[in-house]
Amino acid sequence: MTTTPRPADTTLGELRAGGWRSRSVKEELRANLLAAIGVGEPFLPGILGYEETVLPQLENAILAGQDVILLGERGQAKSRIARSLVGLLDPWLPYVAGTELHDDPFHPVSPLARRIVAEQGDATPIGWWAAEDRYSEKLSTPDISIADLIGEVDPVKVAEGRYLSDELTIHYGLLPRTHRGIFSLNELPDLAERIQVGLLNVMEERDVQVRGYRVRLELDLFVIASANPEDYTSRGRIITPLKDRFGAQIRTHYPEEPATEIAIMEAESVTFGGADADLPVQVPGFMKEIVAELSQLARRSSEVSQRSGVSVRVTIANHETLGAAALKRAVRLGEPSAAPRISDLPAVVASTAGKIELETLGDETREDRVVEKLVARAVVNVFNRHFALSELVPLIERFEDDGLDAEVGELVPARVHGELADAVPELRAAIARLDAGESAAGIASATEFVLEGLHLNRRLNKERRAGRIRYAR
């Protein structure tokens, strides 16, 4: 909710005397964006990874006064971008009190508002509309009707004695009720063609027909729509005249760098307070890198359908899942802190498999196996960014020459990992190069990362048994 105090003007006369100037919603967005640019304020803070691609294009569209369509796969912040534009609206907007369309007091468009202003003049009562209430959003579905978007004859008003030809008999839909605001239409291609025609009329001709009655509505709207690129460009499900009405077509994308994916993951992951707040969950940087790398690899995998995309929600869910697995273990073992380990990674199968679509389905291609292969590739890629195998030769020789074996795993207390690191200085030296921290949980996480990296690089053998993992030559 806006924290700017609500203006004190209560009548049209007071509003006029105060010097308030009427302007369209596109003029308002444009002026406020220019003001923000002038003082160096960030455009749409919280939208990460689009600073050099999407956001400059969106700025240009707003400054040009153009309606916008965002093309992108799921999980590319299209809806968040639309909702964030509310921040460019004035905190409060005056309107003719008691009107459904929140009419501009200086330029009313509805019959009711025009009548009120004509009868009461400067005594016309003024209401104030908060910025966050000037945004409407609709998910396109095949069952949407003209009544939902535009309006319908209200039988109650007809029963009160009005004629059907009277505009006051209309119950307005979502579009007219967003007059002087931002209207967002998600998944535009799913809108039936006859409804698209109605939307076209509102955007261009500013008139609609309800039950055969032509109603002139000079609606003032900024329209931002979203669509999947395949639906928008390949299936021909959007009428060409409607495409032509959107001034800017902006292509969104997934995070191009793992660092951006990590920043989004950290910002969006759910955190909890309460009883478990005293048990901190530390996620070392290399584990965050693995989670981000997993999503990046899935977006390039030939086994994963790239048409439906791999949402950033996969990354967020996997981060949350690893934190939950670490917390569960710490509580079970009575440890003072928690940190995800390599042995926790099988848990992300559940939070990944349901969010990706495979190119082929059947017994020969199981989702869990695809995810497991991607996880292994993610671990080895991150490990090889942190270490060169030549740097770990002394540690490898301890396993080869001294017959060292290491037992770690999901159910092994962090204390045991720490004792292993203390007993093997070469392992301790490798751990010191990671951002594991000094906690026992962090040391345990780093220990498993180093050992798994050596295994995936075929320097150590690995044996699983009952919640424990044994590494040896």
380 pLDDT band (50/70/90 cuts)? very high
Q: Do the bridges between strand 68-71 and strand 221-227 make them parallel or antiparallel, or are there none, so unpaired?
A: parallel
3-state secondary structure of 215: strand
Answer whether residue 4 is part of any domain: no
Strand partners, 214: 209
Q: Cβ distance 457 to 393 under 8 Å?
A: no
Q: Do residue 431 and residue 283 come from a single domain?
A: yes
Q: Does a structural domain hold residue 6?
A: no
Please give the Cα distance from 215 to 21 (Å, whole number): 27
The CATH number linked to 236 is 3.40.50.300
Residue 169 to residues 148, 163, 207, 217, 242: CA-CA distances in angstroms?
A: 16, 7, 16, 15, 29
Which range of 215-229, 279-293, 363-377 scores highest in mean pLDDT? It is 279-293
190 and 170 fall within a common domain = yes
Q: Does 245 lie in the same domain as 281? A: no
Domain C-terminal end among 251, 284, 302? 251
In a domain, 282, yes or no: yes
- Residue 467 has what pLDDT? 77
Residue 317 domain flag: yes
Q: Are 222 and 96 in the same domain?
A: yes
Is the residue at 183 inside a domain?
yes
- Residue 2 falls within a domain, yes or no? no
Does residue 72 sit within a domain? yes
Structure tokens at 17: 């005397």
Q: How far apart are CA 409 and CA 417, in angstroms?
A: 9
203 & 299 share domain: no
Using 50, 70 and 90 to split pLDDT, how confident is the model at 279?
confident
**CA–CA distance, 123 with 359 (Å, rounded to integer):** 66
Instruction: Give the number of domains in the chain.
Output: 2
Give tens-digit pLDDT for 30-65: 999 999 999 999 999 989 999 999 999 999 999 999
Residue 139 — very low, low, confident or very high, per pLDDT cuts 50/70/90?
A: confident
Same domain, residue pair 264 and 390: yes
The answer to whether position 26 is within a domain reads: yes
Of 222, 251, 280, the residue that ends a domain is 251
pLDDT tens track for 333-353:
999 999 999 999 999 999 998
Which letter does DSSP use for residue 88 in this model?
G
Q: In whole numbers, what is the pLDDT of the chain averaged over residues?
A: 87
Helix axis angle for 440-456 and 367-386, nearest 10°, is: 100
What is the span of the domain harbouring residue 277?
Answer: 258-472
**Same domain (yes/no): 221, 295:** no
* Residue 194 pLDDT grade (very low, low, confident, very high; cuts 50, 70, 90): confident
- Identify whether residues 246 and 301 lie together within a single domain: no
Residue 6 has pLDDT above 90, yes or no: no
| pLDDT of res. 452 | 95
Query: pLDDT tier at 159 (50, 70, 90 boundaries)?
Result: low
Q: In terms of domains, do 217 and 72 share one?
A: yes
Residue ending a domain, choose from 217, 251, 285: 251
Q: Are residues 246 and 262 in the same domain?
A: no
For residues 245 and 282, state if they share a domain.
no
Indicate if 98 and 134 belong to the same structural domain: yes
Widest CA span of the chain, in angstroms?
A: 99
